Amino acid sequence: MLVVMQSQATDQQVAAVERHIRELGLSPHPMRGPTRTAIGITGNTSAVDPTSLEGLPGVRELLRVTKPYKLASREMHLDDTVVRLPQTSFGPGTFTVVAGPCSVENEEMALRTAEFLMQRGVRLMRAGAYKPRTSPYSFQGLEEAGLDILDRVRRETGIGVVTEVMDAGHVELVEAAADMLQIGTRNMQNFILLKRIAKSTKPVLLKRGISATLEEWLMAAEYLLSGGNRNVVLCERGVRTFADHTRNTLDLSVIPPVKKHSHLPVIVDPSHGTGRREYVPPMSLAALAAGADGLMVEVHPDPLKALSDGPQSLDFAQFDKLLDSLKRLAEPLGRTIC
Amino acid sequence: MLVVMQSQATDQQVAAVERHIRELGLSPHPMRGPTRTAIGITGNTSAVDPTSLEGLPGVRELLRVTKPYKLASREMHLDDTVVRLPQTSFGPGTFTVVAGPCSVENEEMALRTAEFLMQRGVRLMRAGAYKPRTSPYSFQGLEEAGLDILDRVRRETGIGVVTEVMDAGHVELVEAAADMLQIGTRNMQNFILLKRIAKSTKPVLLKRGISATLEEWLMAAEYLLSGGNRNVVLCERGVRTFADHTRNTLDLSVIPPVKKHSHLPVIVDPSHGTGRREYVPPMSLAALAAGADGLMVEVHPDPLKALSDGPQSLDFAQFDKLLDSLKRLAEPLGRTIC
Amino acid sequence: MLVVMQSQATDQQVAAVERHIRELGLSPHPMRGPTRTAIGITGNTSAVDPTSLEGLPGVRELLRVTKPYKLASREMHLDDTVVRLPQTSFGPGTFTVVAGPCSVENEEMALRTAEFLMQRGVRLMRAGAYKPRTSPYSFQGLEEAGLDILDRVRRETGIGVVTEVMDAGHVELVEAAADMLQIGTRNMQNFILLKRIAKSTKPVLLKRGISATLEEWLMAAEYLLSGGNRNVVLCERGVRTFADHTRNTLDLSVIPPVKKHSHLPVIVDPSHGTGRREYVPPMSLAALAAGADGLMVEVHPDPLKALSDGPQSLDFAQFDKLLDSLKRLAEPLGRTIC
Amino acid sequence: MLVVMQSQATDQQVAAVERHIRELGLSPHPMRGPTRTAIGITGNTSAVDPTSLEGLPGVRELLRVTKPYKLASREMHLDDTVVRLPQTSFGPGTFTVVAGPCSVENEEMALRTAEFLMQRGVRLMRAGAYKPRTSPYSFQGLEEAGLDILDRVRRETGIGVVTEVMDAGHVELVEAAADMLQIGTRNMQNFILLKRIAKSTKPVLLKRGISATLEEWLMAAEYLLSGGNRNVVLCERGVRTFADHTRNTLDLSVIPPVKKHSHLPVIVDPSHGTGRREYVPPMSLAALAAGADGLMVEVHPDPLKALSDGPQSLDFAQFDKLLDSLKRLAEPLGRTIC
């Protein structure tokens, strides 16, 4: 940390700040420049809250130097993490595809989709039983009945199920039907939910909050990691900006910084990221080229009849075409689609 | 709703869209212009999901005309709503001040703050027992012990307590200690929590999500209203933008649109909105002048020692000065500080 | 400046960075912490470009401590600047109103507006002769003919004229007809224009760019100040965010930080800031309460017939009512409307 | 266009709106729904400004249906445009690389870079003679001397030169030294500059404004096209958002919508888009996979000594490696690097 003094700060004020730093058990390093003094702080700054320094007379601002995430940080864990599921894994060298409908609408469609995906070599199906909907008047998911369907489908087909948990009180129920727990964008900072899922033995898919900085996203992961769940996969799904050409602004530019600052795998959801089916294939290919570890894409047997997110779902033929393109592109990148 | 066809759309495509609209139980109104056809839709569009139309051949886009919120809408409820608590109320003619520390740190400071506020005529104290914190390593609030303190303080002083609920599973506990339930910015779209609080008899303070549009905010209120809780007060607390001159960007410009589109009271939190104590007084006065129904402001007996949000808390003397300024400004605006 | 090393940085890498700093004529101050080393830099960092340091091995990031603006900074100029025009001034104690139509449409309406304003005690009229329009097919302003009209109107009525300059090549022409040169939001970083206007003897109204940070805005002012024109008034006019409840997001929260970091007067344009006439009065009052030094507001004799920006213009009666409200509010704030 | 009436609007108000529409020479199409009336408008709405309708009693809002750009629109021009230069072209099937230093620093480095690029098959060099800099104290470019150097270098090596024009008054000078005129992000809505360059015979590279919507960007292109210059290449270079993990947020998600709504070629600048050299290669590959028509990338013989933008420039070896990766990736995409 660095305390920047005002240019008119007096020697007494500088001394008072140094004293306060020592009282916090830290070491001050004053540096006098031509226009002002800055005071570096060393020591274990994470244990105390030196923001109190900002209120001292003569202080202009406080600059933090150390990143607040530790377990999620690449500096603490140089090698890429591999997150393993019974059916597949997420990590270096592979590009793992998760596909399926926005929500479980009935057993027939869930089963039909799972069979189609398994036949194509896709080992993880996404499908929501609990659906976060902006409007109380929209379809809210089949809830427990949806979980039952998912459980039967995975037993019957062997596909792995990725599905969203919306509340700490639902975790036990969802765990029983899912192979991977999804934390949705609106719950990235639902800290009660994060703490509860940190106790789960199931791997987690942690979507980026709709306006989360990279640091906030990694801090949400830190809740999971520090609580005991080390199997965290990040998922970029579009952020909120002024831009209105797509439903959200899919931020592929976050992929290389995630790789630089963290060891966790990161995948991309171009369906929510763009909101329009025709933009999903080019953005999927771009996600692969940008270095993402996988893809989460909405596929529906009959998108025109989907109860939610129809306009952004691919039909089976469109998904087949996308999978072919991904395979062709993966080769020169030294990656395997799985 | 309005379906806009592509300029090259064929007559057959237009006819197919009209047919699809009728199948949804709605009425199509085709309008042929010089370059393209648009098709207006009338009928009860909220009952069906016509987004399926976006996938039909020849369709360029779908424009929604009706606002999706109903109970929160001024069009359905012309008069301003007054939200009444035992200690005070929120609504036209008054400017209701809620003040207090970020979090309950111990009984002594909570009691001291409550007594100070009551003496100044402030009837509602904010103070968090459960604290949403970006970092798992930060102070997370006293939790149940904090609720106990709040309950004792309100019995002893008569002040009303506004405190945050972070999880549906906590509602019962918090209800027992609070006069008003606060839904924090990170939980504005925690729909499980919204549905649960909709069943509570306590009034609700609904903070705006950090990147929520006005429509999404009113839709969150709609969850509460349609679930049975009509006592909803909105709270603007700063949104996320590119701007870095304050912690968040306090969006006072949302106040007049809230008043136009909704009948619900709306207050402003300049402490979280700006993140710096010195900006709190001018933004508080501006909130009053902009037409807000009240203020939520952080006050701490000793901000330098606060366990959270110290840099944005006023001390008692600063709060006194602000209250004086508010009273002087309220008069020409025909408002009463309470 | 502070160089933050990676936690794995070697002693050799630290030494190489220190050497590079000395080669730049600056002094390094290494601080060894438990996890990493940071190196403070003192000396005149504005004369060199130490961003080259970011590329050295072992460097994680570079944090800038000193604000890059100097002449615009309050640290260099403690007293508030007063910008004086022949007709009025901008500065502490007053709240200066600039009003008028978006564009000069013809002599009759310009004259009628000027007479109305002078009668109300408003001494500065805004009116565009050159209009920046998003579409090449929209009305582009009367250009030179508009300047001629403005010049006649100010001679006839004595009102001061504030009008936009869109190009360095137009400055001489506009100077001849204007009392204050306006730099529009799209030209805040038109550096050729800034350098040219820095040579003008006319005061300048510098609008904030549509997504300019406070620092970028003050740096644009720095171009004017360092080039020789010290009469700069800043104008907040709404920024671009995700929010869609108004045309732009009027950022009143920037007013207190402008006052803290700079000595320049700052006014607010709620007409462009909100885009809707009904929101202009509450946001004008809020601007006054937030500490702005004045207002720029669109007034048109017949807004329904305006060639541009009709929906955000007040008519004369609405403006009269606003002026009354401003006067009543100014008194308890110790300000005078002028 | 569609006029949406308030739900309480009277029949008289609806009739008045219809009358106003007819007075504008357009046709009203009233549609009565269960809660409100909407009125479609057909006719040539671009010739008039119906925003005046928003001020009529009973009107809630006005929705625009037709896109305001025409010559830039794919609806008016189904085939992809190919922009040809003497040295190369931009259009379908190819991926055109433009590379070079941020600014011309001296003849030796410009020549060395040009020779390196020509040897690698890159036919266009970027290099700024006029540099838009946030700070008046930063290096502002060699200006005319820089143009002279560029002119000599292109004569000597045969490379094409792409360089920025910052002011309408500079166009003639820059035209003499450049093969393609670049309009920078800060000048995307410098309409005087756009109108002047519309008269040039040189092709144009139009960078997206830092917070420009797709529509505003295409409207800027419309200024060029409607003024007579049909050789426009768009360039995405990062937009401004809340995200702070990169210098700007490179918006690759705009590529597919550009392709859908326009026929103009579009390239990507990952150097300004990310601001860090290590992120340039993955984002370059992603740009190719997303369907961009080319790349603009900063290359410098010695980035550590660059006078501007060093941290985001590749050195020759890094560029070589990137070019190899692009070539390998282009093949399965059916594209040729040129």
Q: What pLDDT, in 10s, does the model give residues B2-29?
A: 888 888 899 999 999 999 889 888 889 8
Q: Which residues of D are less than 8 Å from A332 in CB distance?
A: 325, 328-329, 331-332
Q: Mutate which of D3, D31, D249 to test chain B, going by most B C-beta atoms within 10 A?
A: D31
Handedness of CA D284, D287, D288, D292 (dihedral sign): negative
Indicate which of B1, B3, B8, B35 best probes the interface with D, i.e. most D CBs within 10 Å of its own CB.
B35
CB atoms within 10 A of CB A301: 17
Q: How many other C-beta atoms are found inside a 10 Å radius of the C-beta of residue C134?
A: 18
Measured CA to CA, the distance from residue D33 to residue D21 in angstroms comes to 20
Residue B146: domain span = 83-337
Residue C55 confidence class, pLDDT cut points 50, 70, 90: confident
- Shortest CA distance from C226: residue in chain D: D136
Mean pLDDT of D172-194: 98
pLDDT digit string, tens, across residues A263-289: 999 999 999 999 999 999 999 999 999
CA distance C331 to chain D (A): 33
Under an 8 Å CB criterion, which residues of A touch C?
A: 2, 4, 6-8, 29, 31-36, 38, 40, 42-44, 63, 65-66, 75, 211, 240-242
Give D211 to chain B, closest Cα distance, Å. Answer: 10
Residue C95, domain member (yes or no): yes
**Is the pLDDT at D48 greater than 70, yes or no?**
no
**Are C254 and B243 a contacting pair at CB < 8 A?**
yes
Nearest chain A Cα distance for residue B135, angstroms:
6
The residue among D66 and D91 whose pLDDT is bigger is D91
CB contact under 8 A, C65 and A4: yes
**Could you tell me which of B161, B171, B194 has the C-alpha nearest to residue B86?**
B161
By C-alpha distance, the chain D residue nearest B249 is: D242
pLDDT at position D41: 86
A195-227 pLDDT, tens digit each: 999 999 999 999 999 999 999 999 999 999 999
Interface of chain D toward chain B, CB-CB under 8 angstroms: 2, 4, 6-8, 29, 31-36, 38, 40, 42-44, 63, 65-66, 75, 211, 240-242
> Tell me, what's the ipTM?
0.93
- Helix runs in chain B, H state only: 11-23, 107-119, 144-157, 171-177, 191-197, 214-227, 255-261, 270-274, 280-290, 316-330
**Residue C311 is nearest to which of D55, D135, D222, comparing CB atoms?**
D55
Mean pLDDT, chain C, as a whole number? 93
Q: What are phi and psi of A258, to 5 degrees?
A: -60, -45
Q: Are residues B87 and B46 in the same domain?
A: no
Average confidence (pLDDT) over D160-188: 98
Instruction: Give the whole-angstrom CA distance, residue C278 versus residue C50.
Output: 50
Of A187, A193, A305, the CB nearest to B52: A305
Residue to mutate among B45, B69, B133, B211, with most A CBs inside 10 A, is B211
Average pLDDT, stretch A302-314? 85
Whether residue B327 sits in one domain with residue B228:
yes
> Which one is predicted more confidently, D298 or D308?
D298
C126: β partners: C162
Distance, CA of A224 to CA of A196 (rounded, Å): 9
Spell out which residues of chain C touch residue D166, defining contact as CB-CB under 8 Å: 190-192
Shortest distance, CA A300 to any CA of chain D (angstroms): 22
Give D-chain residues touching C308 at CB under 8 angstroms: 49
Chain A contact set for C28 (CB, 8 A): none
C119 in the same domain as C24: no
Residue B49 within any structural domain of the chain: yes
Measured between CA atoms, the residue of chain A closest to residue B304 is: A52
Q: Are C68 and D137 within 8 A, CB to CB?
A: yes
d(CA A4, CA A146): 56
Contact B4 D241 (CB under 8 A): no
Contacts of A3 in chain C (CB under 8 A): none
D124 and D267 inside one domain: yes
Residues B213 and B274 both lie in one domain? yes
> Considering CB atoms only, which of B2, B29, B75 is closest to D65?
B2
Residues D156 and D304 reside in one and the same domain: yes
B55 and B93 co-located in one domain? no
The pLDDT of residue D43 is 81
Distance from CA of C336 to the nearest CA of B (A): 15
| CB-based contact B2:B63 (threshold 8 Å) | yes
> The domain spanning residue B329 has which CATH number?
3.20.20.70
Question: Do A7 and A103 share a structural domain?
Answer: no
Could you tell me how many CB contacts below 8 A there are between chain C and chain D?
Answer: 120
Inter-CA distances, D327 with C155, D107, D272, D298, D336, Å: 68, 30, 22, 18, 7
A159 and A100 part of one domain: yes
Residues C103-114: what's their mean pLDDT? Answer: 96
CA dist., res. D252 & res. D255, Å (int): 6
Distance between B293 CA and the closest CA of chain A, angstroms: 26
Residue C72 lies inside a defined structural domain of this protein: no
Check which CATH number belongs to the domain holding C56 and give it: 3.30.70.1140
Please give chain B's pLDDT, 338 residues, in tens: 788 888 889 999 999 999 988 988 888 988 888 778 888 888 877 656 666 787 788 888 888 777 889 999 998 889 999 999 999 999 999 999 999 999 999 999 999 999 999 999 999 999 999 999 999 998 899 999 999 999 999 999 999 999 999 999 999 999 999 999 999 999 999 999 999 999 999 999 999 999 999 999 999 999 999 999 999 999 999 999 999 999 999 999 999 999 999 999 999 999 999 999 999 999 999 999 999 999 999 999 998 888 887 889 999 999 999 999 999 999 999 999 99
Contacting chains of A (3 CB pairs or more, <8 Å) are: B, C, D
Residue D184 lies in a domain: yes
Q: Is the pLDDT of residue C183 over 80?
A: yes
Q: Is C168 in contact with D166 (Cβ distance < 8 A)? A: no
Subunits touching B (CB < 8 Å, at least 3 pairs)? A, C, D
- In this prediction, residue C47 carries a pLDDT of 58
Residue A242 and residue A98 share a domain: yes
Spatial separation of the C-alpha atoms in residues D297 and A308, rounded to whole Å: 41
Looking at CA atoms only, how far is residue C75 from chain B in angstroms?
17
Average pLDDT for chain D: 93
Residue contact A279–D253, C-beta within 8 A? yes
Residue A46 has pLDDT above 70, yes or no: no
| Chain B interface mutation, best of D44, D59, D242, highest count of B Cβ atoms under 10 Å | D242
Confidence category of residue D47, pLDDT binned at 50, 70, 90: low
Query: Do C162 and C303 lie in a common domain?
Result: yes
What chain D residue is nearest to A276 in terms of C-alpha separation? Answer: D257
* Residue A51 to residue B191, Cβ atoms within 8 A: no
Give the pLDDT confidence of C293-316 residue by residue, as tens digits.
Answer: 999 999 999 988 888 878 899 999
B160 within domain boundaries: yes
Q: Is residue D192 domain-resident?
A: yes
State the Cα–Cα distance between residues C142 and C131, nearest whole angstrom. 8
What tens digit of pLDDT does each residue of C14-51 get?
Answer: 999 999 889 888 889 888 887 788 888 888 776 566 66
**Residue contact C32–A42, C-beta within 8 A:** yes
Question: In D, which residues are within 8 Å of C135 by CB distance?
Answer: 68, 219, 222
Q: How confident is the model at residue D64, as a pLDDT?
A: 76
Contact C193 D167 (CB under 8 A): yes
Residues from chain D that touch C17, judged by Cβ atoms under 8 A, are none
- Choose between A186 and C76: higher pLDDT: A186
Tokens (6 digits) for B115: 């007594």
Distances from the Cα of C102 to the Cα of A206, C160, D24, D221, angstroms: 49, 16, 22, 25
Closest CA to B240 of B186, B172, B303, B309: B186
pLDDT of residue B49: 65
User: What are B150-208's pLDDT values in tens digits?
Assistant: 999 999 999 999 999 999 999 999 999 999 999 999 999 999 999 999 999 999 999 99
Contact partners, residue C132, CB within 8 Å, separation at least 6: C164, C166, C184, C186, C187, D189, D191
Is residue C162 within 8 A of residue C182, CB to CB? The reply is: yes
Distance CA D56, CA D17 (A): 7
Q: Do A283 and D256 touch (CB under 8 A)?
A: yes
Looking at the structure of chain A, the number of domains it has is: 2
D158 in a domain, yes or no? yes
Q: Do B302 and B256 belong to one domain?
A: yes
Chain C: residue nearest A3 by CA?
A: C65
pLDDT score, position A47: 58
Rounded Cα distance between C258 and C212, Å, is: 13
> How high is the pLDDT of residue D50?
64
Residue C179: inside a domain, yes or no? yes
A169 vs B contacts (CB less than 8 Å): 167-169, 192
Interchain pair C2, A32: CB under 8 A: no
